[in-house]
């Protein structure tokens, strides 16, 4: 079932979206912390 190219493509897209959300959230939180540190 997971050997179909379309299934692999779907899994890849979902993983990329999740990774992007996690990275964006991490950068946003670290940016907030830096701003608080400056003040």
- Residue 11 — very low, low, confident or very high, per pLDDT cuts 50/70/90? very high
The alpha carbons of the chain give a radius of gyration, in whole angstroms, of: 17
Contact 12, 6 (CB under 8 A): no
- Using a cut of 0.75, tell me whether the model's pTM lies above it: no
pLDDT digits (tens, 9 = 90+) for 13-36: 999 999 999 998 888 877 776 666
Domain ranges, ordered by start, for the chain: 1-25
Contact 29, 36 (CB under 8 A): no
């Amino acid at each position: 079932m997971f050997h179909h190219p379309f299934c692999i493509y779907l899994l890849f897209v979902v993983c990329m979206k999740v990774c992007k959300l996690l990275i964006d959230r991490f950068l946003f939180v670290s940016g907030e912390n830096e701003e608080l540190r400056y003040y």
